Amino acid sequence: MPLRLTRYTRLATIVEYKNAQGLLNPRNRQSPQQWADSNIYDKTSNRIRAILTATESFPARNFSGVLLEPKQLKNIFNYHFEIEDNTPQIRAAVEAALKRLRTDFPDYKFSARFGALPEHQAP
């Protein structure tokens, strides 16, 4: 999913839309915690580490927006997740992933809202 970035300031926030509907598929073999570890913790920690060492930035395919320089990206310390799903299992798994992120990256703020609109319906 593409990232949405609010205004660029020291208080800028990277917003990601996430959907765990695939967990409801009977063929699914992934637990809510495995989903949250992969989609919240792993992807975000990898992104932060990449930003911290970046020297250039490149647009993703089909990118339309403002491309920030690595120096600007390094000044974004807020990550917010809009989670479509709102089951107790997803809430607990995402909160556990956010807790790990807060431990590993104490200078950053991480938050989530559950029951969010799908990205294509978001304002």
Boundaries of every domain in the chain = 4-121
- Does position 38 have pLDDT exceeding 90, yes or no? yes
Going from the C-alpha of 38 to that of each of 7, 57, 61, 122, 123, the distances in angstroms are: 27, 23, 22, 23, 26
Query: Tell me: the pLDDT tens digits for 61-98?
Result: 666 666 777 788 888 899 999 999 899 999 999 999 99
pLDDT of residue 1: 41
What's the CATH fold of domain 4-121?
Trna Endonuclease; Chain: A, domain 1 (3.40.1350)
Other beta carbons less than 10 A from residue 41's beta carbon: 21
